[in-house]
Amino acid sequence: MGVITVAGGGPTVNLLASGVDVGIGAVNAVAAVVFALAFCWRLDQIRRAGWGLQPLAMMIAVAALTLAFVVVDDSVADVLNEVGFTGLSRVAFYALLAIGVAALVVVFFFPGKVTRERRAGWEALPLVVALVGLQVTMLVIPVEIRTATIDEWTVQNWGFALFMLIASGYLAYGFVACVNSVRKFYATADGYLRVSLGLLMTGLTCLAVGAVCQIVFVIVSATNVVRSPWLLTTNRAVAIVGVVTFLMGISYPMVYARVQSVAANRRRRRLDAELVPLWRLVTDAVPGVVLPDAGRLTPTTRLHRRVVETRDALTQLSPRVPAVFGYAEPEVQARLLRAAVAGHDPREGDGGAVRDLAPADGEGLEADAVPLIRLARALDAVQLVEEPADR
């Protein structure tokens, strides 16, 4: 816990300053990693789905925010200030944040393509003004305080105060615009998207509140209206909550997609394993339906392939299966199928019209596999009953 003493005979304010600073550092590091992962994920999504204004804006937003949290690192900031000019790191940080927020405004602006393109063009004006303002005001700030931490003393310089007002003002505007857009879409969203938008809206709201706190602090401190160091601590604490919640909102679709993918792969491996007894029975009788070996396959592809091969074999065996098969119990179906396989002779031809022995229960791969799985389980059950009897 740090102790901050306010000069001028005021009371000593006990704040969790050091804890907040450590928290900010940790959040910045995590944010850089998460935004980097999100950037890679967005590139993959663009590769799969193609380009467009919204995907491009999202990629720019994630890239800018990733670089912003890289620039804020002390070692990177020192290099920028040494190679460029003193204060370049601060200009770069807020400029990247502004670009990222401007891109987010376009991302979260959900009306049609033409309207979104107009909004993107309109957003360029305040963004350019903010970027130029940041650069100009930094040049009039004394060199010795360009990289100093914002406090009641540094904001006494009007150049420094104006720089922070421009930076915080644009961020507040952008965050509020994003919240307004997300709020409209949140009302009609559902499922994982509603959760993601809720987290994003909460995070953006906290970030907007933090930016407003910083604006108020700069104004009241620069004009010596009242001492308010607590506004800075509030800004930092709310910003940490906002960044963490925003990161959760950004990451939620990726995490959700990954969890769903892992669960689907596990489920399809299990379905594939359950389908093996039926597949072996019918493909041993009709080996011509088995596709050539394609090497290592994904669980989805392997299950799809096994379903197709099993259905092809059942179709070729169907002329030898009596009509009662269609409405018989699964155990009876299993016995009828085994009898058909035992009596199947490819040299004798089909012997009748073919038909679908196991119609799908719905649309999609897994619905296509359900009746086959029932039949495969019945085969296992019949075999378990018959084996003790044979002994």
Are 69 and 118 contained in the same domain?
yes
With respect to residue 1, please indicate whether it lies within any of the assigned structural domains. Answer: no
Of the candidate ranges 43-47, 97-101, 357-361, the one whose mean pLDDT is the lowest: 43-47
Do residues 64 and 208 both lie within one domain? Answer: yes
Domain count, the chain: 2
Residue with tokens 């900010």: 24
The pLDDT tens digits of the residues spanning 118-159 come to: 666 677 778 888 888 888 888 888 888 888 888 888 888 999
Q: What is the pTM of this model?
A: 0.70
CATH number at residue 178: 1.20.1070
Residue 161 has a pLDDT of 92
Shared domain check, 174 and 88: yes
Calculate mean pLDDT across residues 19-42.
60
For residue 27, give every residue at least 6 positions away whose Cβ sits within 8 Å of its Cβ, in sequence order, or none. Answer: 240, 243, 244
The reported pLDDT for the residue numbered 363 is: 81
Q: If you average pLDDT over every residue of the chain, what do you get?
A: 80
Q: Report residue 200's pLDDT band, with 50, 70 and 90 as the boundaries.
A: very high
- Is 90 exceeded by the pLDDT of residue 216? yes
Whether 227 and 136 share a structural domain: yes
Q: Is the pLDDT of residue 204 over 90?
A: yes
C-alpha–C-alpha distance, residues 36 and 244, integer Å: 15
As a whole-number percent, the residues of the chain with pLDDT over 90 amount to 21
In a domain, 192, yes or no: yes
Predicted pLDDT at 388: 54
Query: 170: pLDDT confidence band, cut at 50, 70 and 90?
Result: very high
pLDDT in tens, 1-27: 333 333 333 333 343 444 444 455 565
Same domain, yes or no, for 162 and 223?
yes
Q: What is the mean pLDDT of residues 24-43?
A: 64
pLDDT band at 176 (very low <50, low <70, confident <90, very high): very high
Segment of 78-82, 160-164, 224-228 carrying the highest mean pLDDT: 160-164
Beta bridge partners of 2: 15
Instruction: Say whether 349 sits in a helix, a strand or coil.
Output: coil
Q: Is it the case that residue 199 has pLDDT exceeding 90?
A: yes
Tokens of 145: 């305080």
Residue corresponding to tokens 């306010």: 6
User: Does one domain contain both 316 and 235?
Assistant: no
Residue 13's DSSP bridge partners are 4
Tokens of 383: 């075999």
Q: Which of 18-32, 121-135, 272-286, 322-336 has the lowest mean pLDDT?
A: 18-32
Interatomic CA distance for residues 119 and 115, integer angstroms: 6
Choose the final residue of a domain: 246, 262, 278.
262
Radius of gyration, alpha carbons of the chain: 32
Q: Is residue 275 part of a domain?
A: no
Confidence of residue 113 (pLDDT cuts 50, 70, 90): low
- pLDDT, residue 130, reads 86
My answer on whether 136 and 65 are in the same domain is yes
The C-alpha atoms of residue 78 and residue 97 are separated, in whole angstroms, by 19
The verdict on 128 and 254 lying in the same domain is: yes
221-224: long-range contacts at Cβ-Cβ below 8 A with a sequence spacing of 24 or more? Answer: 221/152, 221/155, 221/156, 221/161, 222/155, 222/156, 222/158, 222/161
Residues 199 and 323 in one domain: no
Indicate whether 197 and 343 sit together in one domain.
no
Best CA proximity match to 36, nearest among 84, 72, 68: 68
Tokens of 220: 């009241």
* Structural domain boundaries enclosing 210: 24-262
Closest CA to 317 of 290, 351, 359, 291: 351
**Average of pLDDT values for 340-364?**
74
